[in-house]
């Protein structure tokens, strides 16, 4: 039962990824069926990333009720693009957010509360808050909550992997400051009556966390390493740079409103979050599938293709070139699907790799 439900969650994640990417391409004007695709952003964040994050937490706890969160997130995506039922999808994602919060609370009570677990819980609450205000009709506020959810969850996971690293007091304080700024942004977005903009604290928090990770995370130190360790290090380091770039574009948009704000959002959701997916996939897959993926130097190509397509997207937006924008979207999709195919090939070849180079290592 457990293995079947975990497999179902994985299948839901793949289907929602396909729907979300095709929806993004349709919105850029490429000739694809775009029925899914009024809710393209929600499908990517809530249905795909929500399923992946919740599944990772559920597998870590290995409790059957924990699978409610990833199953609800994934089913919400099917309701959104399959049955064209936005209200049912919102209800499913609301359930997923509540279930993920419950997972973190259970983890804290059964083990021990820590800074990283508390921040992950706060991130899940941001997802839940974003979905609630979306039900009330405020999509802009929802996006603030969703961005905070992803950024805080990833930052907390990186902080967890650095538990054994002795950080200076300044680093610990700056991390808490950045998290507090993200929470302030979500609070302001959910309380528009306050009349204060949420964008400035949100993008400032993203910029501070990016600089924090570049300075104190161990990943940039392993940039030149070989094998999976080097792959993960390059993915994470480029992801932190994209997080900072997205924050700069977002802050620029608070002064000069325009399309670059959306580009900054994509720099975070594509450049940062997908780089984390690329980087952690060879670490997570062995835990889920009990298989050791075989390393190939080609696996790094999608990361650089994604970076090049994001740069093209920024240029296309700055010069209002719709054709370049569509080309950049095709590049995003190609990078994501190429990485997925290369990982399938790596897992299929896992039984033929006996060398140490293919061993995934945590960074």
Residue 33: the pLDDT is 53
Looking at residue 197, the DSSP 8-state letter turns out to be: -
Rounded Cα distance between 190 and 141, Å, is 6
Residue 315: the pLDDT is 95
How many C-beta neighbours within 10 Å does residue 268 have? 25
Q: Quick check: 92 and 79 in contact, CB under 8 A?
A: yes
Q: Quick check: 128 and 153 in contact, CB under 8 A?
A: no
Q: Where are the domains of the chain?
A: 1-113, 116-217, 224-363
Residue 177: the pLDDT is 98
Question: What are 142-187's pLDDT values in tens digits?
Answer: 999 999 999 999 999 999 988 888 899 999 999 999 999 999 999 9
Q: Quick check: 53 and 60 in contact, CB under 8 A?
A: no
Residue 95: the pLDDT is 98
Q: Quick check: 293 and 343 in contact, CB under 8 A?
A: yes
Residue 115: the pLDDT is 94
Question: What are 231-252's pLDDT values in tens digits?
Answer: 999 999 999 999 999 999 999 9
Q: What values do phi and psi take at 144, rounded to 5?
A: -60, -45
Please identify every stretch of the chain with a pLDDT value under 70, giving residue numbers as ranges. Answer: 29-38, 193-195, 287, 289-290, 351-362
Rounded Cα distance between 93 and 64, Å, is 19
Torsion on CA atoms 310, 28, 186, 126, rounded to nearest 10: -90
| Ramachandran sector of residue 84 (left: φ over 0; alpha: ψ -120 to 50; beta: rest) | left
Question: In the numeric block, which tokens belong to residue 284?
Answer: 């997570």
- Cα of 247 vs its chain's centroid, Å: 15
Q: Quick check: 5 and 67 in contact, CB under 8 A?
A: yes
Indicate the burial class of 344 (C-beta count within 10 angstroms; 0-12, 13-18, 19 or more). exposed
Residue 35: the pLDDT is 46
Residue 324: the pLDDT is 93
Length of the chain counted residue by residue: 363
Question: In the numeric block, which tokens belong to residue 126?
Answer: 């941001």
- Tokens 């993200």 — which residue? 182
């Amino acid at each position: 039962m457990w293995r079947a439900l975990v497999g179902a969650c994985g299948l839901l994640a793949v289907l929602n990824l396909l729907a979300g990417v095709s929806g993004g391409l349709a919105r850029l004007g490429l000739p694809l069926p775009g029925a899914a695709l009024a809710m393209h952003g929600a499908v990517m964040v809530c249905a795909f990333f929500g399923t992946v994050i919740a599944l990772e937490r559920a597998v870590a706890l290995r409790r059957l009720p924990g699978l409610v969160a990833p199953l609800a997130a994934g089913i919400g995506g099917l309701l959104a693009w399959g049955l064209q039922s936005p209200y049912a999808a919102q209800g499913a994602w609301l359930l997923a957010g509540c279930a993920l919060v419950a997972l973190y609370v259970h983890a804290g009570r059964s083990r021990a509360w820590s800074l990283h677990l508390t921040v992950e819980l706060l991130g899940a609450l941001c997802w839940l808050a974003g979905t609630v205000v979306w039900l009330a009709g405020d999509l802009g506020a929802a996006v603030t909550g969703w961005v905070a959810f992803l950024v805080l969850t990833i930052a907390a996971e990186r902080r967890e992997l650095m538990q054994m690293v002795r950080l200076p007091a300044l680093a610990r304080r700056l991390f808490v400051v950045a998290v507090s700024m993200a929470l302030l942004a979500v609070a302001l977005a959910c309380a528009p009556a306050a009349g204060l903009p949420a964008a400035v604290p949100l993008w400032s928090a993203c910029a501070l966390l990016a600089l924090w990770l570049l300075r104190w995370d161990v990943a940039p130190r392993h940039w030149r390493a070989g094998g999976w360790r080097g792959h993960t290090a390059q993915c994470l380091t480029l992801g932190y740079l994209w997080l900072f770039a997205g924050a700069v574009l977002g802050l620029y948009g608070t002064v000069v409103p325009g399309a670059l704000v959306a580009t900054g959002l994509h720099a975070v959701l594509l450049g940062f979050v997908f780089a984390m997916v690329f980087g952690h996939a060879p670490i997570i897959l062995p835990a889920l599938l009990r298989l050791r993926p075989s390393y190939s130097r080609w696996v790094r190509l999608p990361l650089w293709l994604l970076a090049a397509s994001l740069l093209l997207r920024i240029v296309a937006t700055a010069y209002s070139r719709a054709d370049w924008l569509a080309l950049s979207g095709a590049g995003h999709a190609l990078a994501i699907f190429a990485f997925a195919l290369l990982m399938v090939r790596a897992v299929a070849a896992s039984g033929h790799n006996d060398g140490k180079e293919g061993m995934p290592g945590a960074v």
